[in-house]
Structure 1
Amino acid sequence: MRTAGTPQQRGRVVVVTGASGGVGRATVRAFAARGDKVALLARGREGLAAAADEVERAGGEALVVGVDVSDAKAVDDAAQQVVDAYGHIDVWVNNAFTGVFAPFTEVNPDEFRRVTEVTYLGYVFGTRAALRHMLPRDRGTIVQVGSALAYRGIPLQSAYCGAKHAIQGFNESLRCELLHARSGVRTTMVQLPGLNTPQFDWVLNRMPGRARPVAPVYQPEVAARAIVHASSHARRREYWVGGSTAATLLANAVAPGLLERYLARTNVDAQQEEGRPEGPANLWSPADGAHGRDFGAHGRFDDESTGNSPQQWLSRNRGWMGAVLTAGAAAVAARKLTTPARC
């Protein structure tokens, strides 16, 4: 594990926030498998130490930086630590978040503010810190890890949905500014589906049952592959991961009122299961600190989760698929033109 020293050339320099668990944990492993140098930003000591070990074993180089992303100065300082160690930053992945599962009227103002500061302003502060080092070099990529909930709000997650919507608008504004400046710095957003991560055991929960992702559930490695791909193909403004994400966003674009009624009828029950809420809430302090253990990347839903997403493959290869479909249509049209008419 690296703490400081002279820049090295092998692999890209990648920063991932929320690196200690869930999607962030799977993502740092995926970057490490490419031989990248990966800076791990999060609060939890146990999770960060375990993540760093996994990065090293996967073939990457780990730099651990403990930070609360809601603190703008701390995030700036973290970025400087990365540059001091490696000389520059090639990729910055904003992923850290927190949330509350509860009706809006049961979320107090301090809790709502905290979710907004971590989940939205954490991305703003991370993006600003990354740009401070990327713009002078006129190169670099910022990946905003989003959700289908960046477009479609659902019940019981008002603070989280509001933050994801805000990230979407912020990212679009920033893209316009970078395009206007003809900057070599890129930003893109990856919209995710329901995932099998530990968040459902550590997010503050005031529902009657235990929190769970809305089915279908995907493994965090599906998200990690999309994030790594987006980091190298950031001219695309957005990536959708999972058939459920595509279906939700398309339905919301075509019939938002109808979808709203459907979600009101189904999604309160779809986000919980039998059992009492348990485990530490990570809203104010890291969950692994409360339990003194590492939560890892996966949650408790392995038995129902899939590690594949055909829709993700189609999204990544839509240009190639479009060319194939166009060529096929042209061939069919040419055949019709050369086939003699029959009376």
Structure 2
Amino acid sequence: MRTHRHPPPRTVVVTGAGAGVGRACVREFAARGDRLVLTGRGRAGLHAAAAEAGSAGAPALVVPADVADPEACEGVAARAEEEFGPIDVWVNDAFAGVFAPFADITAAEFRRVTEVTYLGYVNGTRAALHRMLPRDRGTVVQVGSAIAYRGIPMQSAYSGAKHALQGWHEALRCELLAARSGVRITMVQLPAVNTPQFDWVLNRLPGRARPVAPVYQPELAARAVRYAADHPGRREYWVGASTAATLLANAVAPGLFDRYLARTGRSAQQEDRPQPADGPGNLWEPADDVLDHGARGRFDDEAHGRSPQLWASQHHGLLAAASSGLLGAAAGAAVVRGPRRSRP
């Protein structure tokens, strides 16, 4: 009788672990029984995430840090290995953004978004590789976005950071392949996700910030991240039909897409309700340092929890084989039938 063995627990570091997709990732890895190191700026969110992990039977260590600081990332990695041993998986998820026309974003604000959303991933990955490369094993998962390929109006700083992240990730992956390293690096490209960020992002639009529909639940994104950590051989995974459609449309007709987003991009990212004047904001200070916000935002009524496209992204080899088989069967049937003869 065959018995199913549970995979051994791993040491997993998650940045931006206190809320949103990072928080959902904590739950996903905790359900697997991994040892978790949770980092970010918001202490209330991080400690609530650690409590959830503990309730699932997974040990969790909270190490507050700002990923924009490379020394802080080194400190997180050092504490992780002191407490739980070698880091097996490092998930980069922390980010910051500004909803505003480019001309309305100050130089300091633009720099801050770049330091968190791009350099934060660089800093975290460097800290992980300092330990993984000598051991020749380990996995780094970058939580990306469709915006890594297709910039959108009113989010120029975030779009620029995600584009930079994509280029750096590809360069690093090539270096690891050239060195025949046992360390793996992969990326998960996300669609719009129902997270609390839209209630605390720095927003200078007249309406309350919202994700561009269709919207997906953070648990779907977390399942994709965990799958990527378990199967890091793929260069990237796409989550959501909207991600696939965006990337493909931009590859085929980017100029047409520019005009489409010029018409719709501003209105699609805000509600008719006005932006609250006393919103918390988290660009400079965490919004979840005192109050825990959890994984989900306020868009449950429209968010999708499943994505057939994600399954297709994870099983593209199976689909390719099935397609080849169908084509082969069709060709074989055509040969058996032979050419049609014309009637006299």
TM-score (norm 1): 0.95
Residue 129 of structure 1 pairs with residue 90 of structure 2? no
1:5 maps to none
Unaligned regions of 5+ residues in structure 1, if any? Answer: 1-8
1:40 maps to 38
Give CA-to-partner distance per residue, 1:285-307, whole Å, 9 cap, x none.
Answer: 10023xx2100000000001110
Where do residues 3-18 of structure 1 align in structure 2 (5 Å cutoff)?
10-18=8-16
Amino acid in the other structure paired with 1:78 = V
1:186 maps to 184
1:282 maps to 282
CA distance in 2, matches of 1:207, 1:177: 41
Residue 146 of structure 1 pairs with residue 148 of structure 2? no
- The structural deviation recorded for 1:277 is 1.9
Give CA-to-partner distance per residue, 1:175-198, whole Å, 9 cap, x none.
Answer: 111011100001111110001000
Unaligned regions of 5+ residues in structure 2, if any? Answer: 1-6
- The structural deviation recorded for 1:87 is 1.4
Amino acid in the other structure paired with 1:145 = V
2:4 maps to none
1:117 maps to 115
Amino acid in the other structure paired with 1:284 = W
CA distance in 1, matches of 2:213, 2:57: 34
Residue 27 of structure 1 pairs with residue 25 of structure 2? yes
2:292 maps to 294
CA distance in 2, matches of 1:102, 1:58: 40
* Paired residue secondary structure (2:188): strand
1:39–1:63 contact (8 Å) kept in structure 2: yes
Amino acid in the other structure paired with 2:188 = V
- The structural deviation recorded for 1:338 is 1.4
1:79 maps to 77
CA distance in 2, matches of 1:257, 1:57: 50
- The structural deviation recorded for 1:26 is 0.3
Give the counterpart of 1:260 among 258, 261, 277: 258
CA distance in 2, matches of 1:250, 1:331: 29
- Please identify runs of 4+ aligned residues in structure 1 that moved more than 6 A: none
Residue 197 of structure 1 pairs with residue 202 of structure 2? no
CA distance in 2, matches of 1:40, 1:256: 38
- The structural deviation recorded for 1:342 is 4.2
2:106 maps to 108
Where do residues 189-228 of structure 1 align in structure 2 (5 Å cutoff)?
189-228=187-226
Instruction: Tell me the percent identity.
Output: 65
* Paired residue secondary structure (1:171): helix
User: Bigger CA drift: 71-80 or 58-67?
Assistant: 58-67
1:159 maps to 157
User: Bigger CA drift: 186-195 or 275-284?
Assistant: 275-284
1:34–1:59 contact (8 Å) kept in structure 2: no
Give the counterpart of 1:312 among 310, 316, 334: 310
Give the counterpart of 1:58 among 56, 60, 68: 56
* Paired residue secondary structure (1:287): coil
